[in-house]
Chains A and B, each alone.
Chain A
Amino acid sequence: MDFQYIVEILPYILQGLKTTVQVFGFTLLLSIPLGILIGSVQSIKMPFINQGLSAYTWLFRGTPLLLQLYFGMYGLPAFGFTFNRITVAILIFTLNYGAYFTEIIRGSILSISKGQTEVSLSLGFTKSQTFFYVIIPQALKRSLQSITNEIITLVKDTSLIAAIALNDLLRNAKEVVSRDFRVEAFFVVGAIYLIFTLLIVDGAKKVEKKYAFYR
């Protein structure tokens, strides 16, 4: 390994990391609340609204994320909506991951026993109080591991934004490799992705500990 070379290429690769972190961070910040909101609404039985929301999750889970990115970048302008690249990336990623989070949350809510609702009503909680104080806290706890998995997938999926000409971590590394005919850059980004996911796994463990069911 030629460390001097790595030090040389690192600033450019880290520039890409900035974009990657930006898309990752905003997506996380927006898609989890979106998933909680839609997943909650879907767990209540409301025929028309549910069908519409099912169509949403079906659309975004049923087509490639890459296609969705292309549509956001090149399709939306045809309908008169033009955004800058980073906004498109964050928008599409949020909708896509929101769909996955929706299904996770919905499933967890439905897995909480009906007795929990009944006992709450019998104590005197209203339906919405039951939902916020009893059901949602338990559902979130149950969702934690699946959510962590999705977050790790998100780290790696951010590399797709290169397809709409955003200079993310991986794209910058690839440019370095093409320019210099040397592969060290790939090892560097590989290491950065690994550190990134390690931080997430570590953080998730802390959150899990903090919100442990049984304390």
Chain B
Amino acid sequence: MIEVKNIKKSYGDRVVLNNVNLQFQKNNITVLLGKSGEGKTTLFRIIAGIEAQDEGQVVIDNSKTTMVFQDNQLYPHLNVFNNLVLPQRVILKRNKKEATIVSESILKRLNIEYLKYSTVESLSGGEAQRVAIARALAMDKEIILFDEPTSALDRENTANLIGLLKNLKLDKTVLIITHDEEFSIGVADTIYRIECGEIKKA
């Protein structure tokens, strides 16, 4: 079980998160559902360790989480393969051979081997997202956070993503924030609603 306890966060006078408590299970898909401007993204950034909370506690190690961004943020100066390889080599100190083996097996798992030498610029929205997921998976983290993963996807790609996420939960813990109700119902094991900086279990 992974826990977020009594998180508070304000920007100046504006309280964004007010005493947020959240639990999510390992090898489960937990969805945080809410409209934009309700503090979802802030909460996420705190869990991912990009931002610091004012009060409260995240009972997971930041080093065990990584985040897939809404706009993917692939590295445009590298091709798909090197987007996967660079972080492994620099952060995990994997040698070239190890990084290659890991990258290739992940590309295969996500059915995007054919994109190996593609440029980031040439990817479609759905492809870019898969590459971003592949890059996150290559880092061997326990928990993967997804920020609005359906925002750039059509119906078909959304259905594919749901399949992919359900496959991921076999060995990862997945936390998603979204405003997409239909997608939430399709993918989640647990759904929380976030409103005005507070969490309600749906």
Show the binding face of A for B, using Cβ within 8 Å. Answer: 113, 115-116, 118-125, 129, 133-134, 137-138, 141, 213-215
A118 to chain B: which residues have CB within 8 Å? 45, 50, 69, 73
Could you jot down 12 A-B contacts, CB within 8 Å?
A: A113-B73, A115-B69, A120-B87, A122-B66, A122-B67, A123-B66, A123-B87, A124-B87, A138-B76, A141-B77, A213-B77, A214-B120
| 20 additional contacts (CB under 8 A) given A124-B139, A125-B91, A214-B120 | A116-B73, A118-B45, A118-B50, A118-B69, A118-B73, A122-B49, A122-B50, A123-B87, A123-B91, A123-B136, A124-B63, A125-B90, A129-B90, A138-B76, A138-B77, A213-B77, A213-B121, A214-B121, A214-B122, A215-B119
**In the complex, are the beta carbons of B69 and A119 less than 8 A apart?**
yes
Complex Cα gap A187–B35 (Å): 70
Q: Which of B2-54 contact A (CB under 8 A)?
A: 45, 48-50
Asked whether any CB of chain A lies closer than 8 Å to the CB of B135, the reply is: yes
**In the complex, are the beta carbons of B79 and A215 less than 8 A apart?**
yes
A159 CB to nearest chain B CB (Å): 37
Complex Cα gap A175–B84 (Å): 61
Asked whether any CB of chain A lies closer than 8 Å to the CB of B71, the reply is: yes
Complex Cα gap A119–B69 (Å): 7
Complex Cα gap A125–B50 (Å): 12
Which chain B residue lies CB-closest to A132? B90
B141 CB to nearest chain A CB (Å): 8
Q: Which of B73-93 contact A (CB under 8 A)?
A: 73, 75-77, 79, 86-87, 90-92
User: Given that A115-B73, A119-B67 are contacting pairs, would A133 and B90 also be in contact in the complex, using a CB cutoff of 8 Å?
Assistant: yes
1/0 per position for B96-115, CB-CB distance to A under 8 A? 00000000000000000000
Complex Cα gap A159–B90 (Å): 46
Complex Cα gap A121–B139 (Å): 12
